[in-house]
Amino acid sequence: MARRRIIAGNWKMNKTPSEAVALCNELKDLVKNDAVDVVYCVPAIDIVPVVEAVKGTNVHVGAENFYIVDNGAFTGEISAPMLKDAGVEYIIIGHSERRDIFGENDILINQKVKKAFASGLTPILCCGESLALRKADTYKEWIERQITWDLDGVTADQVKKLVIAYEPIWAIGTGETATADQAEEVCGLIRSLIAKLYDQATADEVRIQYGGSMNAGNAAELLSKPNIDGGLIGGASLKPDFGKIVNA
């Protein structure tokens, strides 16, 4: 079945609100493509101005983080209803930077996936192995374990709407991209795992992205692979190059 391509930028901790609006205006004409879902996942403080700046365009807005409770005494956190009310549609969950720098584990990540669906947000669930696991040739088991834990109790109907991003940690921000064959191997493995955990129809619908030093030069080859339905892009999402990835 034909899955709709999804190209998402992960702006990480970049762009002040006024810089964010300027970037939206700079990219506006470059990211036009009716055949692709285009998403900007932006810092919390940029969400309101970015939602306003992309009004009337094909761009959807995502957030980079949230907490699993709707409101209350959680200093510094932001909730799913807040994001939803501001116009957010997608939410990145389980990024390796949140796992490794902020200590998020698969129990919390699983709670976040369920809470996102319950709140009407579409999760972009990230997984990926370290260089040590890649070298030890245990990366397949690692990815299967992450996905199995993160999707515990998530229904097939929800998984059909889910986006999974395979982001090998050794390829993030390093300029060292996984080869198209390496990326396809793991994206195919993830799809097979979804078929095993759920069924083939669910596996055929779930969208799987590659992320890690994806750029205007390597996007077309990565996106030509049968199990790669899109990209989650860091550095190159902050530049006009992002338009070339959308239209690769």
Active site (catalytic) residues:
95, 167
Calpha distance 187→191 (Å, rounded): 6
Within 6-35, the residues that bind ligand 13P by CB under 6 A are 10
CB 42 within 8 A of CB 50: yes
> 198 vs 229, which CB is nearer to ligand 13P?
229
68, 78, 233, 245: which one contacts ligand 13P (CB under 6 A)? 233
Which is it for strands 5-10 and 163-166: parallel, antiparallel or unpaired?
unpaired
211 binds ligand 13P (CB under 6 A): yes
When CB distances to ligand 13P are compared, the closest residue is 234
Residue count, binding to ligand 13P (CB under 6 A): 14
> 51 vs 214, which CB is nearer to ligand 13P?
214
Instruction: Reduce the DSSP state of residue 87 to 3 states and report it.
Output: coil
CB 23 within 8 A of CB 236: no
SS3 content of the chain, % helix, strand, coil (to 5): 45, 15, 40
Calpha distance 5→2 (Å, rounded): 9
Within 114-173, the residues that bind ligand 13P by CB under 6 A are 167, 172-173
> 167 vs 184, which CB is nearer to ligand 13P?
167
Instruction: Reduce the DSSP state of residue 240 to 3 states and report it.
Output: coil
- The residue range among 23-31, 98-106, 209-217, 240-248 that interacts with ligand 13P, by the rule CB under 6 A, is 209-217
* Contact footprint for ligand 13P (CB under 6 A): 10, 95, 167, 172-173, 211-214, 232-236
